Amino acid sequence: MFCGKCGAKNESNAKFCEKCGAKLEKTHSPQENKNIKKIKDRFHAFPKKIKIGIGLALIVVIAAIIALFILLSNPVKKVEDYLTSYYNNYTEDYGNEELVKIGDILKSHKDDEAKLESIEKQIKNTINNWVKNFNKSYADEEALKDEYAKIKGILDEIYSYFDGLEYVLSYEEYYNYYDELYSLYSSKSSYFNALSASDDYYKYYYYNEVISTDSYYEEAEEFVNNYLKDELDTLKEGAEELVNLGEDASNTQILEAYLAQLEYLKENYRQDDIDLSLTTDYQTLYDNAVSKIVEYTKLVAEELEENFETNDVMDIIDASLDVIDYDTDAYQELEELKASYENKMPSKLTDEYVVSYDRGTNYSSYGTTIEEIEYDSYISFRFDGETKALTFRLNNAYQTLKTTIVRGPNWDADFTGEIVIYGDDEELYRSSEITKTNEIDLEINLDVTDVDDLTIEFITESEPEDWANFYIYLVEPYLYK
């Protein structure tokens, strides 16, 4: 070191000049000064753009150092690093040092809701990645078991240590992860069982277990589909034959065909102890049959409604409901259709108020059987050798009356009669002469719009020689609004 006052050389650690005693300060040698000057001169000689670039580079380096410092001190990043370290190093006897550190971070931010939510999000993402990572292929079953045990063990430890803390792993989340892991593990285990199976039937059984829960193994799905191909072809052949109708088939015939097809599919879903209903081909056939049943049930219902055969509509809908699975969209759709037709159901004339009736007339809404045919309601007139009438109050509430004339059993061959119907004393209908065997139009379809009182009259002079009950009937007399 050189003295700044007298220029004498001194030891490098000397504090005072040995020659003049002056206090020494750090100075550079003449050579060092020359070197420093050269560096300064060179820097000043740089173009202005280079000087700016060097300055910016220094700023970027300083900013990166600051960002790294902030990142390393970020609690969310620390939690991610601790979890990653815990996963990478975990064994059955591994400690919980990382979990302790995560717990400390949570405690230190217990009053910072935003920070806790960020930490929670990071923990969920990390655990999701573990489970997602489990859904991959494995070299052998041993590797599969090891990875399953590892992830399950980690989840157990985290859940146990934090006691189901919502910011880390709640009770519901823990069991959802467990179910997902176990389902995947079972599927992948079945895959290895299929590889070592002794025959194709067991291969099919195990491969089917794979594709029911895990779409990862495409070869499993391919094997199952090929194995089932013959059985499915036979099933499809039989199903399609049932609906192979001519172009002139009615909607009712088409509906009956698809009802039969669905029954066939239900009865034959299992072949050689194999559940064909698990296949895409079977489900396509099944869904198509259901769709067609709904479509043609609606079409047939519309046709019957146009012909005032609303009672038959209900029977058609019920027949379709009987074969369709309960609690499905199709079942719900038909139930709604049924409800809409229930509102359109005709009223029984026999339920209306009776204004007047003659002896020898009868009516009932509880039905009767004539010549082994059941009818749900009827009006009857007895042959007594004189005209009989029955009047109902309609209150102008209906538009149409439909009923059918039926001859009673054991009707004497010489008996004759006529049915006449009046609406408020205006004749609306008169039958031709009715005998035991003559051909007449037995169907009655009347417009009863604005009719208040409806009178049905049976005109006859026929009377049994001996005491006996011989009747003529109007069966199922329905009123439509």
**pLDDT, tens only, 202-236:** 888 888 788 766 655 777 777 777 777 888 888 99
pLDDT digit string (tens) for 347-390?
Answer: 899 999 999 999 999 999 998 999 899 999 999 999 988 999 99
Residue 410: per-residue pLDDT: 75
DSSP codes, 115-137 = HHHHHHHHHHHHHHHHHHHHSS-
* 426 phi/psi in degrees, rounded to 5: -100, 125
pLDDT in tens, 165-178: 887 888 898 999 98
265 vs 210, more confident: 265
Q: Nearest CA to 459 among 415, 423, 424, 428?
A: 415
User: In the prediction, which pLDDT does 231 show?
Assistant: 84
* Residue 440 per-residue DSSP state: -
Residue 266 pLDDT class (50, 70, 90 cuts): very high
For residue range 90-138, what is the model confidence (pLDDT) as tens digits?
988 888 888 888 888 888 888 888 888 888 898 899 988 888 888 888 8
Contact 81, 121 (CB under 8 A): no
**Over 70: is that where the pLDDT of 7 sits?**
no
Superfamily name with CATH number, domain 347-480: NPCBM/NEW2 domain (2.60.120.1060)
The whole-number average pLDDT for the span 62-90 is: 70
- Domain ranges in the chain are 1-42, 73-203, 231-342, 347-480
Per-residue CA distances from 243 to 210, 230, 313 (Å): 34, 21, 22
The average pLDDT across 394-408 equals: 93
Q: Let me know if 157 is exposed, middle or buried by CB neighbors in 10 A (0-12, 13-18, 19+).
A: middle
Q: Report the pLDDT averaged over residues 281-302.
A: 94
Q: Is the pLDDT of residue 306 over 90?
A: no
Q: Determine the pLDDT at residue 41.
A: 58
